[in-house]
Amino acid sequence: MKNGSNSLIVKAQIQRDYTVLHFDEFPILLSGKNRFAEQVVGSLICEQHAEGMLEYFHSLVTAEDFDAFIHQKLTYLDLMKKALQIFHLKVSYKGEILVCKQLAFNQIPSDHLPSKSSFCPTPLGVPAF
């Protein structure tokens, strides 16, 4: 890993209950739990094709806020505002975390923030049809 510490990676990395909430070419919105069973919600920021990596935000959130998000009672923007911690990850196409940095919500560039109406695409466990 180039930047960050192993303790940040342990907090930011989804290690179990991995669920893709929205997918295109790569997972765009995902969730799961870290080593400490803390809820993590991640979103793809961009692809760095020339460097062979993807950039993500991973947010540690409370179970209550996650439940409100997946049931479309809380937007992704509001979930990130309420996050306990936010991490910026750069991940190789092979899945190796190359960079992991913690940041505050107000450090996120506005063009990387979700829209004000960014609800979870489909509540978990509810058929989309």
Give the residue carrying structure tokens 């409370």. Answer: 62
pLDDT confidence band for 129 (50 / 70 / 90): very low
Q: Decide if pLDDT at 4 tops 70.
A: no
User: Rounded to an integer, what distance in angstroms lies between the CA atom of residue 19 and that of residue 78?
Assistant: 20
Per-residue pLDDT tens over the stretch 46-64? 999 999 999 999 999 999 9
Query: Which pLDDT value is given to residue 3?
Result: 59
pTM of the model: 0.89
| Residue 2: exposure state from Cβ atoms within 10 A (0-12, 13-18, ≥19) | exposed
Share of the chain above pLDDT 90, in %: 84
Return the DSSP state at 118: -
Q: How confident is the model at residue 93 (pLDDT cuts 50, 70, 90)?
A: very high
Task: Tell me the domain boundaries of the chain.
Answer: 6-106
